Copies of this chain bind each other. A is one copy, B any other.
Amino acid sequence: MKGFFQLISPGELLSLLDRFDPLETGTVALDEGLGRVLATDISAPGPLPPFSRSTMDGYAVRARDTFGCSESEPALLNVTGEIAMGSPGRDIVLQPGQTARIWTGGELPEGGDAVVMVEYSHQLDDRTVEIFRPVAPGENVIRTGEDFGSGEAVLTRGHRLRPQDLGVLAGLGITEIPVFRQPRVAIISTGDELVPPDQEPGPGRIRDINSTTLASLVRETGAIPTCHGIIKDDLETMQAACDRALAESDMVLLSGGSSVGRRDFTLQVLEGIEGGELLAHGVAIRPGKPTILARAGNRAVFGLPGHVASAMVVFYLFVRPLIRRFSGSGTDSGLVRIRAVTGQPIPSAIGREEYVRVSLSRTAEGDPVATPVYGRSGLLRPLVRADGLLVIGRDVEGLDAGSAAPVLLLP
C-alpha cells in the first residue's frame, strides 16, 4: 500500500475529469441566475429592440428631406406631432416634408428612417421646424432587431451568467432560465486529533481548519457544500461516512492529516467504494502530490493532502475544474492567469510542476511583481498573505529574479 499507484501529470489528471458528465438541468428565475451556467443555447424569441428606436432627442424625419440642408439653407419641415415615450410611434405616418418630435428610446414613426438631433434644429412655431444638418438613413436610430434578430444566437450552452447576460435575457423576455444543477459537495475531515472550531481543544488536539476552508472554496466555486463533520481514524467509520456522503452528493472531499498511515487509510476507503474505480493516486505537482481521485458512476471522491495549504492548491487545480464540469462550464479552473515578474530567485526541482504562493505588488509602470510567501506547508500564515500561485513548469530548475512567469490569481 505504500508508495504511489502511478504519478501522473496535472494535465493527465485534468483529462480524467472528462469522464464525468455535467449534471442534469432545470430552470431558475431571472433574479436567481447570477453565476449559474446555461443548459441550452439561447436565441432571440423576437427581435431586439422590438421596433426601430431613436438614440437621440430630436426630430424623426425621412432622411432624404434633409439632404443638402445647412445652417444658411435649413430644410423646413412640418411638425405633425410628438411621439410620447411608450406610445406607438408607428401610428404616426410621415409624408414627404413632415417630421415628428421624438425622444431617446422612442419608436420611429411610419416612413421615418432617421433622427435629427435637437441641437441641429430650430422650432419656428407649433407646426414648423428648421433643420440645419442633413442625416443619412439610419442615423441616430437603432433598427428593429439590430441588437439581436429574431431567432439569432444570443448566448451559448455552458456560459456562466453575468449581470449583462441576465440583462439581455430580461430584454428578450426570457425569465425562466435553463441552467445546470449546482453540484453538491460533501466535506469530510478525518483525524482523532481534530475538534470542531467552536470547541476548546484538549492536549494534543487542534481545531479542524480544513472543513471551513474547503466549504468556503466550494461555495466560492458556485457549488453547495455540506460538512459531514470530523470522522475518526478508523477504516470502517471512514468507509461508512464516505458511502453516506456519496449517496447524497455529487462529490466527496476527504481530507485529514498528512501521515503516511492516514493516506493509506484514505486510499483503502476510496478503493473500497462499491462500484468505484480508482482513477488517480499521486500527481507530479508540489505541493499536492498525494492527491487521490476515485469515481463511482458519475460521482467523484477526492482524497486531498492533509495540510490545508496543499489541499487548497489541489482544490484550485483539480476540484474546482471538476465542480465547473459538473456545473456545465469548461473543465478548467476559471482562475485569472496573469504574467508577473519575480521579485527574487525562486528555486524549484525538475520533475514536478511547482505552485509557489506569492504576494503581488506593482512596479512604477504598473506591471505585476510576484514575491514568494514562504513557509512550511503546515503553516497558515503564508496562505493569508498570498494573492496567487506562481507556476513553475516541471522541466524548469527554478527562476532567476526578474523572470516572467504565469501566476494564477486566487479569487
How many copies of this chain does the complex contain? 2
**What is the size, in residues, of chain A's interface with B at 8 Å between Cβ atoms?**
103
Q: Which residues of chain B have C-beta atoms less than 8 A from A50's C-beta? A: 201, 206
Q: Is the CB of A170 within 8 A of B192?
A: no
Q: Which residues of chain B have C-beta atoms less than 8 A from A312's C-beta? A: 163-164
Q: Is the CB of B197 within 8 A of A171?
A: yes
Distance of A87 Cα from B204 Cα, bound (Å): 5
Q: Is the CB of A384 within 8 A of B192?
A: no
Distance of A340 Cα from B42 Cα, bound (Å): 31
Q: Is the CB of A306 within 8 A of B104?
A: yes
Name the distance in Å between A316's Cβ and chain B's nearest Cβ: 10
Q: Is the CB of A171 within 8 A of B206?
A: yes
Q: Which residues of chain B have C-beta atoms less than 8 A from A258's C-beta? A: 55, 104-105
Q: Which residues of chain B have C-beta atoms less than 8 A from A379's C-beta? A: 142, 146-147
8 Å CB interface, A148-199 against B: 148, 154-155, 162-175, 191-194, 197-199
Say whether, besides A87-B204, A106-B204, A192-B84, A168 and B209 are in contact (CB < 8 Å): yes
Which segment, of A19-27, A62-70, A210-218, A235-243, faces chain B?
A210-218
Q: Which residues of chain B have C-beta atoms less than 8 A from A49's C-beta? A: 206
Can you sample 19 A-B contacts with CB below 8 Å? A34-B219, A51-B204, A57-B260, A86-B194, A103-B259, A105-B259, A147-B381, A163-B217, A164-B380, A164-B383, A164-B386, A166-B213, A167-B210, A167-B213, A168-B209, A170-B208, A171-B197, A336-B338, A339-B366
5 new A-B contacts, CB < 8 A, other than A31-B216, A50-B206, A162-B410, are A104-B257, A104-B306, A105-B193, A146-B379, A171-B206
8 shortest A-B CB distances, which residue pairs? Answer: A88-B203, A167-B213, A163-B216, A86-B193, A86-B192, A170-B212, A170-B197, A104-B259
